Structure 1
């Protein structure tokens, strides 16, 4: 089972890299399920039966089984029949603490506690309640809300976090020999070389595809990724691993190499060939260095400025760590050779485009810094516990700067700012504390080792972590499942290498704990297996729902953005927590209603019957995700259509007004969506008429309409309202007293 699990872990990771970085539901579903199945197989294999009472062993784990009467946790009572083997990791505190934090973001809290932690979450919770119910006298005090205004992205983040943890603990368990470690390293290096050569071939042949998908940018090498920066993230980690592994293969007899002046008198060419040509191990070393050079070339041709700078810093750190160990100082030349190979081929291929992009470095960083500054504004509103992991894309429009009015910002292009916005101070403390604990413990372990293989390969996690940490200042590599999983694999490889008992030994000195399966141990096992099964179940349900009604990234499959109502209903049944499904179902019903009303004989009875189900769907979408201003606007309009109700003026129109007020709160200036402002302007123009000329509220409504119209024009950089809006306004007003304020 262990071997099968190891193959599933590696296969899933490779599959994710090869297919667009695992950003699509159909890809990451298969990858996540591979990790989940592998983990369940490992758990089954790590259930160890206790030895019979008549057998005795000097150690609880002698012969691979716990002795009778021995307890892994020092408990009392009769010896259990089963033990669970648990391999410890220095990242365990971070995993379990952040797991608990994600659960905290999803737990409903009483309003008093919520106001203390996150007042903005309380406001969002209140605004998620149906406007008609609130105006009808429903109490707001009895409701409990979660820290995250929208739970669906946090749930998906929790699933990913569980899968990442399973991959970490599973690889830590499987990488229990030098052969396994080297197998994993070679697989990653082959993957990196293939991705590079594939990308170079596609770019310089003029074909410019990733499998069947035509790329828009023909100059950048991006491998099997859709974004050059995410491909650069793969290259960064691959180069760090290649340098470390090449150095680890260089542990030859030093005495044979140190022959004093006689050796120094040899020609440089002979010494160079000798350095790379001493036995079968050195042939592999040459290939590994060459693989690193190929990935270096891929990094250069990707023209990812952040990736190039981050890799240079990572190589510098690795060089310092080689210098730190006197017996490994000579290994630092591998970095020079690798860089030389990459630069040689880069000069041959042409570096003009890459160098030209560096000339725009300051300009582009200024734009990304504006994004980061606006993201910090989200943090200021949700500073303690964040807005919820994954919720940035749903709240970013409210804080978006007009500089980026042509962009839909789903990532901040600065993982530090986005993490602060989504996780707050609590999340930042957990991350810094957990990673600090890991780095300190791992560095101490590395400093205490003397075996060249362990010392050299143990550097790889430091290089990979630094490269991605620096690149994350201007990009979002760690939001791509394939890159995150590759980073976890390199961390597991480095930690396993540091625990090898010697270069002649095949097994690791793993820190294990045997958990006796009494009631407490069984409860822990049940919780763990239950969490794994929960993650697998919701991964499958999410995939089926997305196959019926897509709400995620679908650019490579050309899925229908506006599916029929029947498909949206099926999606809602499979995944009721996604607010996009009821909204798309409501949109499909509204489109069908409009089609029937445009016929030769309008279906007026169908029009009247349509309002209640559409309102119910829109209220559900708002209840699930109050952060989306579009949902509030559509609901407000739908309330306004209930003119045949006796309480139309006293209940439904005021409810629509409240929806538009909420929409303005969550939209902010939203420069990416000027049509939303036109739509809100149309609503308030209608309300200015229905309120009557004698009502003071009529003037207020007209002022709001004019403000939204002007904001839409400002965002589109136009001086005159579109003709269809002017025609709409003249349905209500023809006097100059109102029209004079319009552009």
Structure 2
């Protein structure tokens, strides 16, 4: 806990250092008034835990439960409230810190030092750097490819000040989805104060995993999630996640945590006396003191076995491989300690029984998916991510923007498929945040894992060794699965992973007698003014986040543009988009949607439709790599070419920009070829010089990509 007063828990080592700092002559006098505070600090179980602590911890656990059950919190109606709730809890905790700064004597102010604070600060700085407008010259120096993409067509993506991100709204939205996980990680570290709460937190994660498994088997054939028919999973177990692979990520980490909790709570029966006959040994084994530990261990292990079997029925090859890697990490760490080499027998027996039991239940089709080696689509996505990183090597294309610039590398074989994710979180991190962001976050994970491993090796407490071992294995398995999937883009999994990271961190630093945590701490009493301003600054940051999230949520409710497969696509009017833009002027789709709505509602002359071209230019300014905005603007200019000679040239340039952003689209090449043929025949003087004589090339390429377009090439635009 962050505060030593008010029945809060601090580091025992820090409390001892405070007592030891008294001069020898004053120690006895100083000990008396501080003894009560010291007892509360090192033995909080002897006192009633404050209602505020219970409320914070209960609310944090509620978020851990809600996120996976709400379809993994992938829809706006779930991830916006999740972010608002996490920010509110953070405000309460920071407000509590301000109160303690005012009422607690400075020598007794001892707070846990937040782990990975430098990584969190660096991540926020990276997002800020990607989204704030910078001078065009500076953007061109850091990311010349961004200037090139913005200058395509008529250069509507350019301005005097530009962000580094190719879509600042997408970058901020992705950060908003990740923010609750970051907040929850620190909230749990500051809220958990006892071993009982550690067990409760681990039990909560395990209970959610068991519910996912049981609910998934219950709805296995119907593929229903809360009454909604899931069309994406087939006959694979999905639980309350839309994608079975994401459920597999969740079950992998929870299974390993459950196995670690089994090792921590495993009870041993008392040894039998020597020299007993076989009949006498059997009679002794039937007694309660011998039978109860074995039954308890068996029941606990069966629950974990159910999680592993459910994982197999998801059919996720990456999930099963990740579980294997997690058990290998668990076994390797156990092998490094002589006293725990016997864990290898448990691991081998557990995996064998899980596979055999799943085969008995009919899992052979799911295990047989390992024979399917056709993963060309993912390989293309991996190659596209690496190509994107080569174009944006330093700071990336922008967090959350992969789906837009990937069209430049998407082959014709994937025609009709939109890849919003790379199917590799690590490669997508490299492409979207560049080498700087990748080294920051990958380095932070590696440092954190090695730090926890080092602390775990130093501990002798069986509870810490068991639960810490399961937590470390779960963290490793989750990171490994992210090599071939995108679980961290699912807020429900990201929140669970953050909770497991906090649980593991607290476990390896927990000591039972006297009960305390040995993590590094801060003494803000020496810097009261700086600590006050720091807390006020963090509160201001959370308030700003809440205001932004609230307005964006209201905009999304007015004119939904984000994916929500659980609800029908609504018919939106121009007024809906105007209300959305009033709340969120960052989203390029609102501008494009308003332009489309104005054209649909006013099919007459262009003068009666409002500034459709201006709206589409605004969309291009905010998302210059989105080819659909370029194409729609080109269509508008071409359909209204009679209003001015500049419209035809502008239309051809925007079509050319759309082709440059999606070069493997036969339709775009066909549209540009048809427009060039018509323009060169009737208005040859208006064709831009760089496009003259290019219609033949685009025609042939369109036929190569899509031969069925041959008949359509003779039609006029």
| TM band (smaller chain) | 0.7 to 0.9
Say if 2:583 is the partner of 1:574.
Answer: yes
Corresponding residue of 2:71: 20
Q: Which moved more, 1:260-269 or 1:463-472?
A: 260-269
Q: Distance between the aligned counterparts of 1:44 and 1:583, measured in 2? A: 42
Report if aligned partners of 1:579, 1:622 keep a CA contact under 8 Å in 2: yes
Corresponding residue of 2:714: 726
Corresponding residue of 2:121: 96
**Correspondence 1:704-719 to 2 at 5 A:** 704-718=694-708
Say if 2:348 is the partner of 1:297.
Answer: no
Choose from 205, 212, 223 the match for 1:208: 223
Say if 2:120 is the partner of 1:122.
Answer: no
Change (3 A) 1:367 1:659: closer
Q: Which moved more, 1:337-346 or 1:241-250?
A: 337-346
Say if 2:234 is the partner of 1:218.
Answer: yes
Report if aligned partners of 1:90, 1:441 keep a CA contact under 8 Å in 2: no
Report if aligned partners of 1:292, 1:338 keep a CA contact under 8 Å in 2: no
Q: Distance between the aligned counterparts of 1:443 and 1:351, measured in 2? A: 35
> Is the partner of 2:374 in helix, strand or coil?
helix
Residue 124 of structure 1 deviates from its aligned partner by 3.1
**Correspondence 1:636-647 to 2 at 5 A:** 636-643=634-641, 645=643
Corresponding residue of 1:227: 243
Residue 667 of structure 1 deviates from its aligned partner by 2.0
Change (3 A) 1:211 1:275: farther
Residue 284 of structure 1 deviates from its aligned partner by 5.5
Corresponding residue of 1:45: 96
Choose from 75, 86, 105 the match for 1:66: 105
Report if aligned partners of 1:637, 1:683 keep a CA contact under 8 Å in 2: no
**Correspondence 1:276-315 to 2 at 5 A:** 277-279=291-293, 285-315=297-327
Change (3 A) 1:143 1:103: same
Q: Which runs of 5+ in 1 are unaligned?
A: 53-64, 72-82, 135-139, 595-602, 730-743
Q: Which moved more, 1:493-502 or 1:256-265?
A: 256-265
Residue 222 of structure 1 deviates from its aligned partner by 0.9
Q: Distance between the aligned counterparts of 2:227 and 2:695, measured in 1? A: 47
Q: Distance between the aligned counterparts of 1:559 and 1:386, measured in 2? A: 32
Choose from 591, 600, 607 the match for 1:591: 600
Report if aligned partners of 2:595, 2:615 keep a CA contact under 8 Å in 1: yes
Say if 2:679 is the partner of 1:655.
Answer: no
Corresponding residue of 1:529: 539
Report if aligned partners of 1:9, 1:34 keep a CA contact under 8 Å in 2: no
Report if aligned partners of 1:129, 1:623 keep a CA contact under 8 Å in 2: no
Q: Distance between the aligned counterparts of 2:335 and 2:568, measured in 1? A: 52
Change (3 A) 1:375 1:50: closer
Q: Distance between the aligned counterparts of 2:577 and 2:488, measured in 1? A: 31
Residue 93 of structure 1 deviates from its aligned partner by 2.2
Choose from 628, 631, 641 the match for 1:630: 628
Q: Which runs of 5+ in 2 are unaligned?
A: 1-51
Report if aligned partners of 2:395, 2:433 keep a CA contact under 8 Å in 1: yes
Corresponding residue of 1:617: 615
> Is the partner of 1:385 in helix, strand or coil?
coil
Residue 644 of structure 1 deviates from its aligned partner by 5.3
Tell me the matched-pair count. 664
Residue 116 of structure 1 deviates from its aligned partner by 2.7
> Is the partner of 1:718 in helix, strand or coil?
helix
Say if 2:30 is the partner of 1:30.
Answer: no
Q: Distance between the aligned counterparts of 2:616 and 2:118, measured in 1? A: 41
Corresponding residue of 2:258: 242
Residue 543 of structure 1 deviates from its aligned partner by 1.8
Say if 2:390 is the partner of 1:390.
Answer: no
Change (3 A) 1:164 1:50: closer
Choose from 175, 180, 189 the match for 1:172: 189
CA RMSD of aligned residues (A): 3.0
1:203-248 deviation line (CA, Å, top 9, x unaligned):
1xx3221112212243101111111100100110111101110001
Report if aligned partners of 2:153, 2:656 keep a CA contact under 8 Å in 1: no
**Correspondence 1:476-491 to 2 at 5 A:** 476-491=486-501
Corresponding residue of 1:683: 675
Q: Distance between the aligned counterparts of 1:656 and 1:276, measured in 2? A: 84
Q: Distance between the aligned counterparts of 1:406 and 1:619, measured in 2? A: 26
Corresponding residue of 1:105: 130
1:561-619 deviation line (CA, Å, top 9, x unaligned):
x511111111111111010111011111112233xxxxxxxx44xx3332x51011111
Residue 717 of structure 1 deviates from its aligned partner by 4.5
Report if aligned partners of 1:713, 1:720 keep a CA contact under 8 Å in 2: yes
Residue 263 of structure 1 deviates from its aligned partner by 11
1:263-321 deviation line (CA, Å, top 9, x unaligned):
99998999899999455xx7654443222111101011111111101101111110121
Corresponding residue of 1:356: 368
Residue 477 of structure 1 deviates from its aligned partner by 0.9
> Is the partner of 2:630 in helix, strand or coil?
helix
Report if aligned partners of 1:13, 1:31 keep a CA contact under 8 Å in 2: no
Corresponding residue of 1:153: 170
Change (3 A) 1:128 1:248: farther
1:707-741 deviation line (CA, Å, top 9, x unaligned):
4444444444526334xx53426xxxxxxxxxxxx
